[in-house]
Amino acid sequence: MTVNTLAIIGTGIMGMGIAQIAAQAGIQVLLFDAKAGAAEQGRQSLQATLEKLAAKGKFTDEQLQSTLANLTVIENIAKIAEVDVVIEAIIENLEIKQQLFKQLESIVPAETILATNTSSLAVTAIASDCEHPERVAGFHFFNPVPLMKIVEVIPGISTKPSVVETLTSLAKRMGHLGVVAKDTPGFIVNHGGRAYGTEALKILGEGVASFEDIDLILREGAGFRMGPFELLDLTGIDVSHPVMESVYNQYYSEPRYRPHPLTRQMLIGKKLGRKVGEGFYHYTENKKQDGQKVTVDPSKQLPFKTDSDISNLSVWIGADLAEDKQQLVDYLNANGITIDDNDKPNSDSLILLAIYGDDTTNAAIRYQVNPKQAVAIDMLTDLSKHRTLMPSIVTQDNFVAQAYALFGRSNKFDKSSDEGSNVAVDATLITESTGFVAQRVIAMVINLGCDIAMQGIATPKDIDNAVKLGLGYPYGPISWGDEIGASRILLILERIHGLTGDPRYRPSPWLQRRATLGVSLFTQQNNYSG
């Protein structure tokens, strides 16, 4: 089916974003909103935006006029009777959506596809009162629609395959990648995004590091576009926390999706983020979406100096992986540091432990060394971008200071024009934790992606593309697991699970099997049933 005409019901930000990309693709778009004047207001706002873009040379005047000519405001919903597809983009309320779809069925012919832009409600539930649920599907875009080049196509339990095919083709025509997802809580993107914020909140709740340091580690070290607490502030706690609770409850309290009480408190206390000027961070322009973070000069908080004398330092290395040990040896040699290569470290040597999924105390016991001399270092992230150091609870201050001087000695405080404050980017000290910060978060992101694949919610490729494009991660979870190595991710999870006993960290069988066999996480098994 070729889509020539399309109706948008609901002309808010999402509805008009969809209208824009459809009109730009040459599709005739009818705009309707139940609120009088809202559709015309939405059209005028879009026209102003497009004119600004045209003035900047984003497209020609001819393209501008052609796009605007494809937009028609209607005041009577009955005028949608002959369209090929209707896309609903109204309030996230199941009862209201069900009523709307029953109304739509009374207007349009049987061959018209009815699509919902729902982000959190079951497509099957929305279609449950329809006479023809087979033509109803989810068509979930992300804000801002023109820039977020991904859309989830979600068949309900009765949806015909041809409907899915038509919507997937329509997405491509509008310049977006359509990924097919099962009708499950959170679909792909909102489901796959549960690991990032919830694990960061758990780390914060355990007192492992400040939210500023967690953001720094994950942004600078792991390569995320934004730290989790920056992202929560941007999205808004009033948006993020209900989604956390919704997915958790819909999966019958699955530990992997467990929310944290802190965001519930912030929601109650109305510390919602940028939109109100205060969330995890304070913002200089209250109630402004573009408010800038106010940070504290970290030079006033550094526990140790980076210019301590380490000329006589000797370092003993214990590493889970030979490649990590070699990297540390090369680093020490380049910095003129003596390496203690005895079977057992000297009593005055700094013990450096490159470990995965462990804490410093247990690692020291495992390596049969003195935990008072031990500092662990996270080798999962690029040392040239950031270093995370973790002493044990009994590590003596002189050894902590040595480690900090060794890995933070190149620390420079660069003036950031964006943030207006000085930011240290080379080394962060954290309190003891099973699995550092980046290891925990990245392993949970990858493990959840694998679990989504195991549930058959989408193909591994679609999961990867949806999460990367929809959430802006440096990699999709499946390819990230392959990049790091499935066996390394499995080791992190198994150790954290073993040390904590928390089922939240149990490895997905999808990950376990492929790590054990040494094959790509994209590897799929043939379905022999039926």
**pLDDT for residue 15:** 97
Percentage of the chain lying above the pLDDT 70 cut: 92
Say which of 88, 105, 117, 119 is annotated catalytic: 119
The one catalytic residue among 152, 220, 230, 432: 152
Query: What pLDDT, on the 0 to 100 scale, is given for residue 285?
Result: 64
pLDDT of residue 59: 85
374-377/350-354 β-pairing: parallel
Per residue in 212-228, pLDDT tens? 999 999 999 999 999 99
Report residue 311's pLDDT band, with 50, 70 and 90 as the boundaries: confident
pLDDT at 426: 79
Task: Say what angle helices 438-454 and 194-205 make with each other, to 10 degrees.
Answer: 140
pLDDT value, residue 424: 43
Where is pLDDT greater, at 312 or 295? 312
- What's the fold here for domain 188-286+437-525? N-(1-d-carboxylethyl)-l-norvaline Dehydrogenase; domain 2 (1.10.1040)
Question: What ranges in 115-257 are assigned the alpha helix state H?
Answer: 123-126, 161-173, 189-192, 194-205, 211-216, 228-235, 237-250
Mean pLDDT across 136-143? 97
Q: How confident is the model at residue 293 (pLDDT cuts 50, 70, 90)?
A: low
pLDDT confidence of residue 303: 56
Is 119 annotated in the active site?
yes
Active site residue 152: yes
Average pLDDT, the chain: 92
Q: What is the mean pLDDT of residues 27-32?
A: 98
Could you tell me the pTM of the whole model? 0.91
Mean pLDDT of 473-501: 98
Cα distance between residue 159 and residue 86, in whole Å: 15
* Residue 27 in tokens: 């599709």
pLDDT tier, 116 (very low <50, low <70, confident <90, very high otherwise): very high
Mean pLDDT of 268-297: 75
> Is it the case that residue 155 has pLDDT exceeding 90?
yes
Mean pLDDT of 252-256: 96
Identify the pLDDT of residue 296: 46
Specify the pLDDT at position 514.
Answer: 98
CA–centroid distance for 496 within its chain: 21
For residue 297, pLDDT beyond 90: no
Rg (CA), the chain: 26
Q: Give 55-77 pLDDT, tens digit per residue.
A: 999 888 999 999 999 999 999 99
Query: If we measure between CA atoms, which residue out of 66, 444, 408, 423 comes closest to residue 220?
Result: 423
Q: Could you report the per-residue pLDDT of 312-338, keeping only the tens digit for each?
A: 899 999 999 999 999 999 999 998 999
Contact 329, 322 (CB under 8 A): no
How far is it, in rounded angstroms, from Cα 9 to Cα 12?
A: 9
Assess whether 529 carries a catalytic annotation.
no
pLDDT of residue 308: 66
Please determine, for residue 292, whether its predicted confidence score (pLDDT) is greater than 80: no
Q: Supply the pLDDT for residue 345.
A: 98
β-partners of residue 391 are 375
Q: Where are the domains of the chain?
A: 5-183, 188-286+437-525, 314-429
The pLDDT assigned to 527 comes to 80
Q: Please determine, for residue 425, whether its predicted confidence score (pLDDT) is greater than 50.
A: no
Q: Alpha helix locations (H) across 290-432?
A: 322-334, 360-367, 397-408
- Structure confidence at residue 156 as a pLDDT band (50, 70, 90): very high
HSE toward the beta carbon, residue 98, CA cutoff 13 A:
11
Q: Give per-residue burial for 251-269: e unless 16+ CB within 10 Å, then b.
A: beebebbbbbebbeebbee
Top CATH class of 314-429 equals alpha beta
Q: 31-35, 268-272, 301-305, 463-467: which range is least confident on average?
A: 301-305
Is the pLDDT assigned to residue 304 strictly greater than 80? no
Name the active-site residue from 88, 105, 117, 190. Answer: 190
pLDDT band at residue 418 using 50, 70 and 90 as cut-offs: very low
> For 5-183, CATH number?
3.40.50.720
Equal fold, 5-183 vs 188-286+437-525: no
Give the per-residue pLDDT at 310: 82
Residue 307 has pLDDT above 80, yes or no: no
Q: Check if 132 is active-site.
A: no
pLDDT in tens, 357-398: 999 999 999 999 999 999 999 999 989 899 999 999 999 999
The reported pLDDT for the residue numbered 306 is 55
- Cβ pair 464, 504 in contact under 8 A: no
* 299 — pLDDT class (breaks 50, 70, 90): very low
In this predicted structure, the answer to whether residue 283 has a pLDDT above a threshold of 70 is yes
| Host H or E run for residue 351 | strand 350-354
Task: With CA atoms as reference, report the closest residue to 404 among 310, 471, 298.
Answer: 310
Q: Tokens for 57?
A: 């040379």
Tell me, what's the pLDDT at 5?
98
Q: Which among 70, 88, 117, 140 is annotated as catalytic?
A: 140
Alpha carbon distance 164, 155 (integer Å): 7
pLDDT at 46 over 80: yes
